Amino acid sequence: MNATATAMKPLRQPSVLPGFGLTFGFTTFFLSAVVLLPLAALVMMASRLHWGEFLEIIFAPRAMGSYRLSFGASLLAATINLVFGFIIAWTLVRYEFPGKKIIDALIDMPFALPTAVSGIALTTVFAQNGWIGQYLEPFGIKVAYTWIGVTVALTLIGMPFMVRTVQPALEEVQRDLEDAAETLGAGRFHIFRRIILPTVLPALLTGFTLAFARGVGEYGSVIFISGNLPYKTEITPLLIVIKLEEFDYKGAAALGSVMLLISFIMLLAINLLQAWGRKRQTGAGR
Amino acid sequence: MSITLDQVTKRYQGIPVVNDVSVEIGNGEFFVLLGPSGSGKSTLLRAIAGLTGVNHGRIALHGRDVTHVSARERGVGLVFQNYALFRHMTVADNIEFALRVRRVKRADRAQRRKELLRLVALEGMDERLPAQLSGGQQQRVAVARALAHKPEVLLLDEPFGALDAKIREELRRTIRQVQRELGITTVLVTHDQEEAFALADRIGVMNLGRLLEMGRPDELYTRPATRFVATFLGAANLLLARQSKSGIRFGSQQVISHARDGAPVGREHEVVAVLRPEEVEIAPTREALDANYLAAGTVEEVVFTGALERMRIRLTNGATEAQLAVANGDAGAFIEVTRTQPEQRAFQVQLGQHVAVGVRRIHVLPTPLSSFTACAASESEVDVLSHQPLLVELATRMKTRVASRVEPALAEGKGECSSREDSFSGAAVIASSPGALKSIECLLERGAEEVFVLPPNAPSPQRVLIHWADEGARAATLAVSASLLRHLSAEAIYLDVMPHGTPDKQRPYGMRALLDARSEAHAVHGLEMRTELRFGNIASELGRQLGESTDQLLILGVSEISGLAQRFGELLSGTPRWPLLVVYREPEVAA
């Protein structure tokens, strides 16, 4: 009954499983070797540049265009997922229908599919003569080789993150709460807005964060559908790869550091927001 | 009337979880629905709240039919076992929720909240979050929240389930106090009989979706009408006894009856007697007993429980033992006794000690189905019969036993039936066979009052058809039907048939008779049943309905043995494929 009471834990707790020292040591080692050291190398590499050079690279118009696309499309895709991922999760949790198991399994497909494959598939479908693209063409809507295509690809890639985070949270929403609200006279919209949404909000934010982070880092699927026009449909990861191919390691590292910094700030902000929300719900006293 | 339920039925996947429940709850009454888990009590409560629809029947609140009104608009207050507080809202927001929904002004909301918090003794807790409160405090908030919109009815679903004993008692007192202060009609659902006793003006006991009995707590405790209520409300020793004009006999031991049941005592017959453990007295010798002597026994188990001492005594008189039945249906007779401290001091007992057992008070259940006796021509057939799943299920639920009896007269093709009067323990049970009609007639001649014909591996019935051949059999048929149906989760249908070509003027009388019977069943036995009136031949109509599926049971009442062959010969000529219970009572001779 008291699911939220376990939010704050002391650093070290007596546990049924021994070996805190060993596991904690492994955790630090693993994180250092796989995450921190490469990132440090990245920053080190970038720091070999002079300030002037560094600023010139990162504020170059082509780079600025790529940031706008990378972060803009990722944010937009994560927002689309926020709405539709929630609806999918809701459908899967609240309703019983034939084929539910199959749909549930399909959700995980983008996890397993090589991203290049999804990129090529999406391009085929959304190209001017593709299955969907041909119907959008008369309306002047071009998906493939525009920023819209990038957003579509990122939406697909981020969707399972959203659904899989929100699903368990929705399953935990007690039906009693809705029943209680109903007997107190609340209508459906009111129940959704005041009872269900606040309860799953932390999960929604987590899902949003994950989908966004995945979108910023995505490379494989986007480069097929974006068309990679400099200043227009070129994402930052691609720009980095281009720089690498030109053996401009420092330039690539500089762009990498910028991505790292922006991502870090955005993720931190979302996490803080979440922690604040959780605190409000659990109460400081426990 | 504040809450009126009329034949409310709710089915899940065709199985009734709430079965024909009718009850009227008065203004300001505290009504407790008591029953084991799965008895349908919570479903019934949710139906009153409007959270669950019903398949059949009507629900009215303060005279307004709300059967098809949504929970939002019913205006009831509901409290859940797990509090169901909105965890992201403060206590104040939780309590004001219903008022906010109704767009009540801020100042009025605050004032109402203050009032409610005072009522549940939580002043000053306004800004706390639910997680900062103890379980008991959270449930108080839930009660305050449920009362905010001034509902006309307060519904509580096991509100103390998640709390420990001390807090439970405290909260119980608060709820009783709040209920008295506001004079609000309240329905509480619980499985805890102590809770029911402490709170209720009236208790309704539910089992298998049926409302078995209703009444004041003390009435239900001292004079239960059913085995289930006798054993569910407090502890009870259920014993089979024989009752006649001269009193109650356990085996050969005559115990003068203190039972106060108005049922006319005809010839001696088997009854179910309830002995409360506190009404049993023990003494070193028969002469030292103050109460009526029942049997001799040895002390098998003594448990100290604080105020009371509980013990189990094995009865040792051979003659008595055979006639007793205990809860698990064994013929081995144990009797539960509780004694107070002064009683313990007056006579201290050791394990294994021989004592004399007396009873201060015996209550005889009005149920006509006391036990079963499996009858067949050979011992192996009796054995097979007494292990039939439906019979075992019924006996277990009725907490009674299945005795066995070899009846050579039942052998196929023998047809010889000595008309010697004999005493049967409870209902006679026979296997379904081509000669079923003859066997039934024979057993009735021999003195059986009910004969239960059982096809092999009959499923538990979902539908019970009831019909009696003539008015003389009506009362007994209704009583037996009620007794049987309390132990089945089946629907009861009383079927009557008028001959073809009945003039239109006559038709209302047929309907009238049906409805009269229905009200009698409800008033006397608390049995709810549906009624159907058909035209044509009774035997073929029953045959047609029974032919539809095998999970049906037929109860036939007759007051003349010959009437069975005359009226139902066609129906009973083959091998019955459904269970059949024949109820036979001789017409009473006017005194």
Mean pLDDT by 10 residues, chain B (591 residues): 89 86 92 93 94 92 91 90 89 93 92 92 89 90 93 92 85 91 94 92 92 92 90 86 77 61 61 89 88 85 89 73 47 80 89 89 85 86 88 85 80 62 78 85 85 89 88 87 86 84 78 84 80 84 84 89 83 84 76 42
Domain contains A82: yes
pLDDT score, position B328: 43
Domain contains A14: no
Q: Which residues of B touch A282 (CB under 8 A)?
A: 129, 131
Q: How far is CA B522 from the centre of its chain?
A: 13
pLDDT score, position B366: 83
Distances from the Cα of B367 to the Cα of A162, B79, B275, B391, B424, angstroms: 62, 37, 16, 18, 16
CA distance B34 to A95: 33
pLDDT score, position B154: 95
Test the B interface: residue of A1, A8, A174, A184 with most B CBs within 10 Å: A184
Q: What are phi and psi of B273, to 5 degrees?
A: -105, 140
The mean pLDDT of chain A is 84
pLDDT score, position B111: 93
Domain contains A105: yes
Shortest alpha-carbon distance between residue A175 and chain B (Å): 9
Q: Which residues of A touch B129 (CB under 8 A)?
A: 280-283
Q: What is the CA radius of gyration of chain B?
A: 27
Test the B interface: residue of A182, A183, A200, A279 with most B CBs within 10 Å: A183
| CATH for B3-227, options being 3.40.50.300, 3.40.140.10, 1.10.1740.10, 3.30.70.260 | 3.40.50.300
Out of A186, A283, A286, the one facing B101 most closely (by C-beta) is A186
pLDDT score, position A6: 46
- DSSP H helical segments within B548-584, as ranges? 561-572
Residue A204 token pair: 């929604």
Please indicate whether, in this complex, the C-beta atoms of A185 and B131 are within 8 angstroms of each other.
no
Residue A86 belongs to domain spanning: 34-279
Residue B167 token pair: 């807090």
Pairing, β B363-364 against β B269-275: antiparallel
Whichever domain contains A136, its CATH number is 1.10.3720.10
For residues B482 and B525, the answer to whether their CB atoms sit within 8 Å is yes
Please indicate whether, in this complex, the C-beta atoms of A5 and B72 are within 8 angstroms of each other.
no
pLDDT score, position B27: 93
Instruction: Write out pLDDT tens, residues A201-214.
Output: 888 988 998 899 88
Domain B235-364 has what CATH class?
mainly beta
Sorted by where each begins, the domain ranges of chain B are: 3-227, 235-364, 372-584
Which residues 158-197 of A are in CB contact (within 8 Å) with B? 174, 176-177, 179-187, 190, 194-195
Domain contains A6: no
Domain contains A64: yes
Find, in chain B, the residue whose alpha carbon is nearest to that of A197. B88
CA distance A38 to B551: 73
Q: What angle do CA A266, A267, A269 make, to 5 degrees?
A: 65
Residue B459 token pair: 């499923």
Which sign does the torsion angle of CA A57, A61, A65, A67 carry?
positive
Asked if the domains at B3-227 and B235-364 fall in one CATH topology, the answer is no
Q: Which residues of B touch A177 (CB under 8 A)?
A: 84, 86
Distances from the Cα of B589 to the Cα of B266, B469, B472, angstroms: 11, 19, 11
Three-class DSSP category at B103 = coil
Residue A110 token pair: 């983008």
Out of A180, A181, A285, the one facing B132 most closely (by C-beta) is A285
pLDDT score, position B50: 92
Domain contains A108: yes
Residue B84 zone, left/alpha/beta (φ > 0; ψ -120 to 50; rest): left
Count how many domains chain A has.
1
- H/E stretch holding B530: strand B530-535
Residue B559 token pair: 């007051």
pTM here is 0.79
For residues B76 and A183, the answer to whether their CB atoms sit within 8 Å is yes
Q: Which residues of B touch A182 (CB under 8 A)?
A: 51, 70-72
Got the DSSP string for B375-403? EESSHHHHHHHHT-HHHHHHHHHTT--EE
Distances from the Cα of A120 to the Cα of A237, B290, B540, angstroms: 18, 97, 74
Q: What is the mean pLDDT of residues A248-276?
A: 86
Out of A180, A187, A194, the one facing B78 most closely (by C-beta) is A180
Shortest alpha-carbon distance between residue A274 and chain B (Å): 13
CA distance B5 to A178: 25
Instruction: Write out pLDDT tens, residues A111-131.
Output: 888 888 888 888 888 888 888
pLDDT score, position A283: 44
pLDDT score, position B588: 63
Three-class DSSP category at A48 = coil
CA distance B70 to B26: 23
Closest CA to B561 of B430, B429, B441, B420: B441
> Topology of domain B372-584, per CATH?
Rossmann fold (3.40.50)
Q: How many CB atoms lie within 10 A of CB A269?
A: 11
pLDDT score, position B415: 55
Pairing, β B153-157 against β B185-190: parallel
Q: How many residues belong to chain A?
A: 286
Find, in chain B, the residue whose alpha carbon is nearest to that of A198. B88
Please indicate whether, in this complex, the C-beta atoms of A184 and B132 are within 8 angstroms of each other.
no
CA distance B432 to B177: 59
Q: Per residue, what are the HEC states of B248-314?
A: EEECCEEECCCCCCCCCCCCCEEEEEEECHHHEEEECCHHHCCCEEEEEEEEEEEEECCCEEEEEEE
Per DSSP, which regions of B208-246 are E strands?
Answer: 210-215, 237-244
For residue A282, is pLDDT > 70?
A: no
Q: Which of A36-40, A182-186, A270-274, B80-84 has the lowest mean pLDDT?
A: A270-274
Three-class DSSP category at B423 = coil
Shortest alpha-carbon distance between residue B394 and chain A (Å): 36
Find, in chain B, the residue whose alpha carbon is nearest to that of A200. B88
- H/E stretch holding B71: helix B71-74
Please indicate whether, in this complex, the C-beta atoms of A281 and B51 are within 8 angstroms of each other.
no
Q: Which residues of B touch A1 (CB under 8 A)?
A: 82-83, 162
Q: What angle do CA A158, A164, A167 make, to 5 degrees?
A: 135
Domain contains A26: no
